[in-house]
Amino acid sequence: MNNKELVLKIVELVGSEKNIQQVTNCMTRLRFKLNDSSLVKLEALKELDGVLGVVEDETLQVVVGPGKAAKLLNLLQKNVDLEGDLEVGEDWEENKDRVKGKQKQSKLKQGLRMIGEIFIPLIPAIIAAGIFNGFAGLITNFQSTGTLPAEGFWQITQLILSLLGGAFLSYFAIFTGINAAKQFGATEGLGGMIGALTIMEQIDDISQAVGMYNAETPLESILISGRGGIIGVIIGVFLLSIVEKKVRKIVPDVLDLIFTPVISLSIMALGMVFVVMPLSGFISDGMVNFLSLLVSSEIAAVNIMSGFILAALFLPMVLLGLHHGLIPIYALQLESMGGVSLFPVLAMAGAGQVGAAIAIYLKAKKVNNDKLKQIISGALPAGILGIGEPLIYGVTLPLGKPFITAGLGAGFGGAFIMLQDVMSSAWGPSGISAIPLMQPGSMLTYFLGLAISYLGGFVITYFFIKEQEIAELN
């Protein structure tokens, strides 16, 4: 039985496509959310050739083996017409799953998602480090103006905050290497070593010894400590995973623990120093230069246009699963510029949804649509705090037009943020919750950007959405 036949048989045994509300996958299994679990032919499903097991939980989980679930889900989406449109309602998670479930997982999306998964576990530390560094910078600013004393309690406080922020950000490459190893299937400790070697001072000594060092302008050296940043680390760990697996096939099991890491790292050290770091350095430089054209242009019109487009299109990018590719750009900006200018712009997207939801609420109030009012009232506080999914998947996306008008409204906030050179010390949740992540001089400006996005989303939605459209939802 081939994979397509297996998929069609599984669908038949879970009660046909009409019984399937949604289906997702993890590494080893398909997860079905069904309308009626009594329609499942459980014994036949368990005995089906290609099914390794069945787990009954909140969802019906069909175990098919490592790596196979994603292939089967892709075939299922191509060959089975699952019913179910998006509906306005409090159960926004179902709408979210339906949107994600219908998306084709291309190689690009899979790659971007894998890159995103490298950084997602680091987000709490990124947020904490950013906040610590932000407050340390705030104290330093007050000390420089004489508002706070340069010694005593405030000196110790500033040093401790800087210590906490630096404890993560100074060794970002190591954390990235460890998590990249998890994603690519390499040994985590070896991945951390790949990250660590890129920031070691011996890199500069090697660069000088082989003539790759520019003594007049060290930062323009072909090879220098930190060259290539996290992009080089990710590429290096990916190559490490390939090398390590090939070496392990050759080395006898009894010698694996000693020889595999030594041989793998020896090969990769040479590759990192003489190939990956210089090459990824050129890539990073190119990306930084391109970003500088967008975020640091001397032409105000360019900043306004780029800020508007980025903020307006961010949520569609999220729906398509392309937003994962932005995380390395955040990290690249943090490494090269000491702050992130792209995140504050994109954070305006959620604020536009808030403004649109308020406009819809007022329309719903006029036509006495109490259900919609209740849904928005429950989701609005979360949206203001930066958790936009309840509003997006429960209100604006199912309605269709408000999702577009909200994005257009967010564009005005994005243009303002870009024009004002707002910078954050980290990235994380958006909305009001992101204010502490902004650098001290950008906190007020970021808040004004949110207010502009609220207003833009509200005004455009209010004038483009007819009361009749809201009344028909009763």
Catalytic residue IDs: 26
The single-letter code of the amino acid at 422 is V
* Backbone phi and psi for residue 175, each to the nearest 5 degrees, phi listed first: -60, -40
Q: Is the dihedral of CA 381, 384, 385, 391 positive or negative?
A: positive
* Backbone phi and psi for residue 165, each to the nearest 5 degrees, phi listed first: -65, -45
CA atoms within 13 A on the CB side of 21: 18
Of 93, 84, 141, nearest to 390 by C-alpha is 93
Name the one residue in this structure whose structure tokens are 């577009």.
Answer: 404
Sheet holding 29-34, edge to edge: 20-25, 29-34, 60-63, 53-56
d(CA 52, CA 45): 10
Q: Is the dihedral of CA 394, 395, 400, 402 positive or negative?
A: negative
Q: Give one DSSP letter per residue of 260-285, joined into a string.
A: HHHHHHHHHHHHIIIIIHHHHHHHHH
Contact 323, 392 (CB under 8 A): no
d(CA 11, CA 255): 47
d(CA 107, CA 372): 39
Q: Exposed, middle or buried by CB within 10 Å (0-12, 13-18, 19+), for 283? A: middle
CA atoms within 13 A on the CB side of 312: 16
Residue 474 makes CB contacts below 8 A (sequence gap 6+) with: 367, 368, 369, 371
